[in-house]
Amino acid sequence: MVADSSKVPFHLESPKDTPRLEGRYYPDNKPWDQYRDVKVIVVGLGISGISTAVLLSHKVPNAKITAYEKFSKVGGTWAANVYPGVRCDVPSHVYQLSFETNPNWSEYYPKGAEIQQYYERVLEKHSLTENVKTEHQVVRATWLKDASKWAVEVRELQSGNVFVDTADFLVNAQGRISDPNYPDIPGLRDIYQGPVIHTARWPSELDISGKKVAIIGNGASGQQLLPNIAPVVEKIYHYVRNKTWVTPTFVRDLHQATKDAPGGPVYSEEQQARFREDPSVLLEHRRELESKFHHPPGGDRLGSEKNNALRERIIEVMRERLDGDEEWLQRVLPDYAPGCKRLTPAPGYLETVKSDKVEYITEGIKCFTPTGILAADGTERELDIVILATGFEPSFNSRFPVIGTDGTDLRDKWSIDGPIGYPETYLGIMAPGYPNYFFVLQAQGNARGGSVPLQTELSATYIARAIRKVQSQSYSSLDPKEDAAQEFNDICAAAFENSVLTDKCNSWFKQGKGATRVVISWPGTFHHRAQALREPRWEDFDFARRHGAEKNRFEYFGNGSTAFESGGNPEDLIRYVIDSSKVDIATLHETWTE
């Protein structure tokens, strides 16, 4: 008769004390508790920070996660940008986390508020709201070598008080599209007497009805704002420095948004209900949309046949939106290759620009006067309000000092005048000399294809692997080797030599105008990046052992037993016994949770 294993207590005897030989290493008499307690600080709670906090909470056992966010709401750019007309030009069912599908998106291209609310709900669902401290700004981080910890200085924005928090691991998830870029134009700060508003700091109480308004800038925010406020203002003076390609959609074969339907098709109540009730229908819709974000390479090569064909397609769209007006078309056409800057669909923008409500000004701004703007051609225009649609601080550097092993601020190393001169990352996720410090979407971390949320998931998963490595094998830190980072960046530099990104536009994708160093992009596709990050190259790291493991790297072996065995649950001992018909031999015994 076979005994019922559930009724048989499991007990592991501790080894008897025996005389110890001098000079021999003896591990502590304790089981292998595979994952020690660790503290992780996440800075910033936009998409990157939320994605990372959620994934680390599931992928790193015994991790205490604290997240600091300077705004009063989470959501990053979607919390910061609330100007009229703000929305995403990527479909809602793509612009979400792969593990948190939302059947209730209201539009094909969602409004900013709907995106912010979605990511806020994700935090709530995964019980992380208690870990979040809003209106807390990280102002400095210093690596404490002897303790193998980060000392993080945090300012409470309500009180102004500064305190120090410490963590084993620091994740910088600060985005690049939330801190406003204020142009350096003479008279803007000290002469002009009227109100100046940046689109990234739009006051909810602002009333622009019947006003004469200047919109400076024609990037995504300027293009979205202009047609949305035109019906209520008296006049718009639109100051444009660089012209922009206006595309039908962000990528090919998506539904086009229009002036009258900037959100594209609406998801009806019936469609949303069907998505909720039949997950297979929702899955098929998502797969159809996602497939459009993976195209063969070629269109991103400067002077290529594919890029020239893209140029012609975009010109036709712009001509159509301008009602065939060739004079206007020549006024707005850029002189650089499509893709040098981010492509923007901008429904309603061109149609409104040529209306009587708008004066399109390309002469440049000489200075501000007390009541308006003096253009380079000598024309002065009086204004009621100035709106800066001038984008965001373009740097890939940290917003706060990060002091590494040699006492140097990472920002100084990476500044264009610094010893390195550009953001030198290891795989877009770490930097040499800054142990246990990670980025989510840093320089060289944005691959071609796929969505931003999906890219953050790749980064967060790699970070989780690195933390588990340190956590489970008697290490206190890992630090990428300098030569590994240099060789990765050599690959990046070579990959973009004849890319459209190097054409003569001015873009935050690179360090300056023209053929300067491309800093945003991974040297390949999304799937290329996923493959590269799947199996970490541990040989590219220097590891420091934690206290107690200096004499033997296998200190964590303990007494030869494991913590789950000592727990006494018989089911844990046979968890490898599963339904053989469901076994995927390719991954058998390879998952970290086994």
What CATH number does residue 443 fall under? 3.50.50.60
Q: What is the mean pLDDT of residues 473-490?
A: 97
Question: Facing residues of 246 across strands?
Answer: 344
Same domain, 410 and 374: no
Residues 207 and 342 in one domain: yes
- Residues 253 and 174 occupy one common structural domain: no
pLDDT at 514: 65
Residues 534, 464 share a domain: yes
Work out the pLDDT band at 16, boundaries 50, 70, 90.
low
Could you tell me if 463 and 336 lie in one domain?
no
Mean pLDDT value across residues 217-222? 96
- Which of 329, 359, 388 terminates a domain? The answer is 388
Which pLDDT value is given to residue 314?
A: 96
Q: Which two tokens stand for residue 152?
A: 């993080």
pLDDT tens per residue, range 251-296: 888 999 999 999 999 999 999 999 999 999 999 999 999 999 998 7
**pLDDT at residue 179 in the model:** 85
Query: Is 267 within the bounds of a domain?
Result: yes
Give me the pLDDT at residue 393, please: 83
The answer on pLDDT for 98 being more than 80 is yes
pLDDT at 379 over 90: yes
DSSP 169: E
- 186 part of a folded domain: no
Strands 136-144 and 132-134: unpaired
Query: Does residue 553 belong to any structural domain of this protein?
Result: no
Question: How much is the average pLDDT of 408-430?
Answer: 95
* pLDDT value at residue 422: 92
Q: pTM score, two decimals? A: 0.94
Under 8 Å between Cβ of 382 and 194: no
- Kindly state whether residue 102 falls inside one of the protein's structural domains: no
**pLDDT > 60? residue 531:** yes
Three-state SS at 261: coil
Cβ–Cβ under 8 Å, residues 158 and 169: no
Range of the domain at 423: 38-70+135-178+395-545
Residue 296 lies in a domain: yes
Give me the pLDDT at residue 17, please: 59
Point out the domain boundary residue: 340, 358, 388: 388
**339 and 367 together in one domain:** yes
Q: What is the chain's mean pLDDT, rounded?
A: 93
From 388, 405, 428, give the residue that closes a domain: 388
Q: For residue 240, is it within any domain? A: yes
Tell me: the pLDDT tens digits for 43-95? Answer: 999 999 999 999 999 999 999 999 999 999 999 999 999 999 999 999 999 99
Residue 451 lies in a domain: yes
Residue 18: predicted pLDDT: 64
Q: Are 110 and 88 in contact (CB under 8 A)?
A: yes
Same domain, 591 and 480: no
Q: Which helix (H) or strand (E) holds 118?
A: helix 112-125
pLDDT digit string (tens) for 19-46? 778 878 888 888 887 799 999 999 999 9
Residue 13 lies inside a defined structural domain of this protein: yes
Structure-derived torsion over alpha carbons of residues 11, 12, 18, 20, reported in degrees to the nearest 10: -150
The fraction of the chain above a pLDDT of 90, given in percent, is 80
Q: Is the pLDDT of residue 155 over 90?
A: yes
Q: Output the pLDDT for position 312.
A: 96
Least confident window among 160-169, 177-186, 370-379? 177-186
For residues 331 and 417, state if they share a domain.
Answer: no
Kind and range of the H or E run holding 155: strand 149-156
Examine the domain organization and report whether 158 and 296 are in the same domain.
no
